Structure 1
C-alpha cells in the first residue's frame, strides 16, 4: 500500500483497478505537493502508473513562486504525464512567463505537439502581463502566419494591454485596424481595451470617438471613458458623461465614483464632491472603505481638512490606505505634528506602514520644518519598519534639508544615495537653491536636470528665477532663449475658484471672463486698501529686466489676485475663499493674500502644486515656510 508522508492530511487516496488516482485538495501548499511526489518518484515505474487530479495539480503548480520549484515540477511531475494536449503544458508555460523566464516558456511551448488557439492565447497573455510586447507580437505573428489560426477577442485584448503598457501607439493602432478587418471590433471588451489604450497614450479624441460609436456601452465602457477624461483634466466632460450614464439608468460602481472623486480632488471642486458623497450615502456605498478613502482625500485636496478628519473618525475599520490618506491630508495642509500623531496611532493599533505612508510622513515634516523629526523617521523606516528608502523618500529629505538652509547636507545626502538620483531628487535641490538664492549650486543642479529631462519647463523657470533674484538678467535671458531653442512650452499659471456649481479659471492678465471689468475694479480697490496697511508689491518674481512700473503692473494681474477679487465679489460675506493654482504660488501673491485676509476679515485657502496655504488675520498656516 502506498504510504503518504506524515502531516499531509489534505490528500485522499483512491484506487481504481490498475491505476492509482490522487485527489489533491486545491488548498495544498507547494512544499507538501513536492514532498509527496518526491516520495512517489523514488520508484520510477510506479510513477507511470499514476494518474492525477489534473485541476488540483494545476492549481498547486500555478502558485509556484520560484524557478527552481517550477523546474522541479516540470522535470519530476509533468514529464511523467501526457500533456501533449496542451492543458497542463499551458499552465506550466504560464508559470514560466509569470516568473520572467521567457525562453523557458517559449521552448516548452514549442515542445507541445497539440497547440490550439487557447494555448497561443495563454502564451500571449503571459507575455502581456509582464509587458513583453516583442514576445507578444512574435507569438501573435507565428500563431497567424505559421499555424494559420485567426485571433479571437482574447488575443487582441492581450496585445492591446501590452501596447498600453509599453506606450506603443503604432502597434496598438495596427491591432485596432486588425480588429476592424476581422470583425472583432464589435466585441465590447476589445473596444473597452482600445479606449483605455488611446486614453493612456494621450489620444483623447480617438478614445472618445470609439466610445461614441458604441451602440450599447456597458458599465466598464462608461467607467473607461470617465477615467480617460478625468486623467486628461477635462473634468466637466467627464461629469457630462456621468450625467448621461445616470439618465439612461446605468448604475455606477466603485470605479465610477473613485474616478469622479479623483477629478474633484484634482481641481478642488468642493460642492460636487459633497454631491457625490451624498449619492454614495443614498446608494449604500458609504461602507465601502475604498470609496470612503477617496472622499476623504477629495475633502483634503479641496481645503476641507476638517471634513476629512470627521469622515476618518466615522470609519469603522480604516485600513492602512485610509490611515495613509489621512496622514497625506495633514501633510498637504502643513500640519506636521498632526501627521506624526496620526502615524503614531497607526503604529499603536498594530498596522505596518508602507513606503507611501513614509512618503507622506516625510513630506509633512518637510512642509512644517520638522527637521529633527524627519531625520529620525528617515533613519528608522528601514531598521525598525523594514521599509527601504526609495527615490520619493530621498526627494522628501532633500526638500526638508534644503528648505532649512542645509544645502550642503542635502547635496551630501544625494551623493550617498544607493541608487541614481532622478529628476524629483535633483528638482528638490534646485528648488532649495531658489529658496536660498544659491546661484552656483543652482546652475550645476539645473544642468543635471536639463540632461535628465530637457523638456521639463519647471527646471528652466526655476533657474531663470534664481538668476532674476540675483539680478543676473543676461543669464536669465539665456535660459529663456534656451527654452525657446528647445521648444519647451511654458505652462501658463492658472487659478480656479468654484461658484454656483461652475469652475471659473483665470490666467495672468485675463480678459476673457464675462465679469472681468468688475473684477479689475475690485482688484484695484483691494490693492489700494492693503497698501494703506503696509503692502508693497514684490517685483522680484518678475523674470524680465523691465521698468519697476511695468513689473508692478505685471504682478498685479497674477491669476491668484484675479481669483481672489472675483471670489470677494460673488461670495457671501464671511465665507472662506478656496482657490486652486496649477503652479506654485508666487511670493507676492502669498503676501497679498495675507493682507487681504486681514483687511477683508476673510479666510483665504489657496492650494498650489505643492501644498495648502490657509490665510487668516494677516498670517498664513505655512509660517512663510514653503
Structure 2
C-alpha cells in the first residue's frame, strides 16, 4: 500500500502544505530547525550558487540525503515527505535504500522496516541494507529471516556484502550453529577465499569461543591483512590465550606487518585481565620503539594494564608521562586507586582532575563512589553522591546507587541502605539488590538476606551467585536444612557455580589453578609445599574457617576441602618459583573467601614475602601478616 505524508508522518503536515506550492525557495528549507544543506548538494554544478526555484525532487533528493545532519531524524522525515510530493514515490530505488539505513541509524526501526516493505522492486542492495540494519542491532533472527525472504521471494543470490553483514550478528549472539551455516553458504557460493568474508568468519568463530576453527581459517588464508592479524590477536586476548596473542604479535612483526593501535590495545587488555605484568612490560617496550607512546588511547590501556597487574606505582608513572591526559586517562588512574583500596588517593586524583578544568561524567563518579566503598569512606561517599547532581549536573544512575548501597552496607548501615533503595527514582536492578545481599552476608543478617535473595530470584532467577551467597549464609549459621533447600533449588533450575580459578604468571606463561588441582606438571611439589605451609601457619595461630564449607561433613573433611582452594595452590606455586624479594601476583575470577584471606596473611608473615591477590572486587596486598584492605572487603 502506498503511504501518504499525512497518514504515515503526521509531523510533516506543515512541510507537505509548503511543498504543495508550485515554487518553493530552497533557502527557506535551510532555515528549518537543524536542517543542514550544503551548497554543493543543492547546486547542479560546483560553481552554481543555488537553485532559485523548487527543482525536480527526483534528481535532487538522492543528493540531499548525505547532507542531512545525523543529529536528528526529523531531517530524514522532511526529505521523505519531499519524495512523496514528487509524485514518483513508487520509484524509490537508491533513495529508499539510503533512507532505510538512515532511519535505523536514528533508532526508528519501525520507519525503516515500513519503508523497506514499501519498496516495490527490491534489488540486492535493498535487501543488503535491511540485513545490515538488523545486524547493527544484533538481531540475528530478523537477519536470517530477511536472508530467507531474499532467497525465496526475490530469488536473489547473496553476495559478499550480504555475508559480512550477517556474520557480525552471529558473533554478537554467539550463535555458532548459525555462523557455521553461513560459513557453508560462503563455500557453496565460492566466497571462501574472499578476504573480507574470511575475516568476518574468523571473528565469528572467535566470538563464539571456537578459537581452533578461527586459527585454521587464518592459517589457510593466502593473503593476510592487518585486519586479519588484529582479529586473531583480539580473539586470543578475549578468550584468555595471552601467550597466543603475544606469539601472533611477534609473528606480525616478522611478517613485516606493522601493528596499529587496535593490536596494542587488544594485547594490553589481555594483560590487564590476567595481571600479566611481564607481558605488559614487553608490550610497553614495543610501544616505545614503535612510536605509540604519544597515543593517549594506548597509554591509557597501559595505565590500566599496570594497575590491574598490581603495579600501581608504574601505572602512576606512565600517567604522569602524558602531556595532556584526557578524561578517560584521568578516570583510568582514578579507577586504579579505587580497585587497590586507596580511597583517599582516588579522591585526590578526582580533585586534581577538576582543577585541570575537566568535567567528570557518570563513569568518573562510579569509580569515586567505588573507591569510597572499598575504603569505608562513608561521609566522603555521601558528599560526592550529593555533589553529582547538585554541583556537576550528573544525575545518579543505577550503578551509582549500587555503589552507595555497597558503601552503606559494608559499613553496617543496612537500614540506611534499605532506605536509599526505597527512595530511588528508578527501579533497583540486580546489582543494587546484590550489593545489599553481600552486605547481609558480611554482617550475618540472615532475615534481611533472605528477603533480598527472594527479590533477586525474581529479577534474575538464572544467576547462580545469589543462590550461593544465601546458601553460604545458611551454612555459616549452621542452618543446614535451609542451605540444602537452596542448593536443591539451584539444581532444579540447572544452575552451576562458576569454578574458582586462580592465575599466576611465570616463565612467560599464565598458570591456572582450580580447587584441588592436580593437572599442573609440578602438581606433587605444589601440594607438598602447600601442606608444609598449612602446618607452619597452624603452629602460629591460623585456624581454618571451616564454617565456610557448604556441606554438613566432619571438621577434618572440611579442613581438607578448604585447604586446597585455588588461591592457596597458586601461592604455593609462587613460593616455589619466585625470585628472591619479588612479590607473588595472583588473579582470581571470584571474590576471595575468608579462609584464603586469613591464610594469605599468615603465609606472608612466615615466608617474609609480599602476596598480591586481585579478586573480582579489588586488590589485596598481604605483607607481614596484614592485608591492605584492613579486613574490610
Q: Does 1:265 align with 2:272?
A: yes
Offset at 1:356?
1.7
Q: Does 1:225 align with 2:232?
A: yes
Q: In the comparison of the two structures, how many residue pairs are matched?
A: 600
Counterpart residue number, 1:41: none
Structure 2: stretches of 5+ with no match in the other structure: 1-22, 43-50
C-alpha distance 364-113 of structure 1, shift in aligned 2 (>3 A): same
Counterpart residue number, 2:77: 71
Range with greater deviation from structure 2 (107-116 or 288-297): 107-116
Q: Does 1:565 align with 2:569?
A: no
Q: Which runs of structure 2 are paired with 1:342-381 in the superposition (5 Å)?
A: 342-381=349-388
Offset at 1:336?
0.7
C-alpha distance 29-238 of structure 1, shift in aligned 2 (>3 A): farther
Q: Which runs of structure 2 are paired with 1:211-250 in the superposition (5 Å)?
A: 211-250=218-257
* Alpha carbons 1:371, 1:401 under 8 Å: kept: yes
Structure 1: stretches of 5+ with no match in the other structure: 1-18, 39-43
Q: Does 1:328 align with 2:332?
A: no
Q: Does 1:340 align with 2:347?
A: yes
Secondary structure at 2:360 match in 1: coil
Secondary structure at 1:393 match in 2: helix
Counterpart residue number, 1:8: none
Counterpart residue number, 2:35: 31
Q: Does 1:182 align with 2:189?
A: yes
Q: Does 1:58 align with 2:95?
A: no
Distance of 2:521 and 2:74 partners within structure 1: 70
Distance of 2:461 and 2:39 partners within structure 1: 57
Give CA-to-partner distance per residue, 1:181-225, whole Å, 9 cap, x none: 222232221222222233334444443443344333322122223
Counterpart residue number, 1:210: 217
User: Which of 437, 441, 445 lines up with 1:434 in the alignment?
Assistant: 441
Distance of 2:630 and 2:555 partners within structure 1: 28
Counterpart residue number, 1:251: 258
Secondary structure at 2:53 match in 1: helix
* Alpha carbons 2:205, 2:211 under 8 Å: kept: yes
Offset at 1:309?
0.4
C-alpha distance 591-133 of structure 1, shift in aligned 2 (>3 A): closer
Offset at 1:125?
2.6
Counterpart residue number, 2:519: 512
Secondary structure at 1:468 match in 2: helix
Distance of 1:228 and 1:451 partners within structure 2: 35
* Alpha carbons 2:243, 2:508 under 8 Å: kept: no
* Alpha carbons 1:579, 1:605 under 8 Å: kept: yes
Distance of 1:487 and 1:475 partners within structure 2: 19
Give CA-to-partner distance per residue, 1:430-449, whole Å, 9 cap, x none: 21111011112222222333
Counterpart residue number, 2:14: none
Offset at 1:392?
2.0
Counterpart residue number, 1:486: 493
Counterpart residue number, 1:150: 157
Distance of 2:113 and 2:596 partners within structure 1: 61
Give CA-to-partner distance per residue, 1:495-533, whole Å, 9 cap, x none: 222222222333333333343444344334434443444
Secondary structure at 2:612 match in 1: strand
Counterpart residue number, 1:461: 468
Counterpart residue number, 2:455: 448
* Alpha carbons 1:85, 1:115 under 8 Å: kept: no
Counterpart residue number, 2:6: none
| TM-score computed with the length of structure 1 as normaliser | 0.87
Two-structure CA RMSD over aligned residues (Å): 3.4
Offset at 1:37?
12
Secondary structure at 1:503 match in 2: strand
Offset at 1:318?
1.1
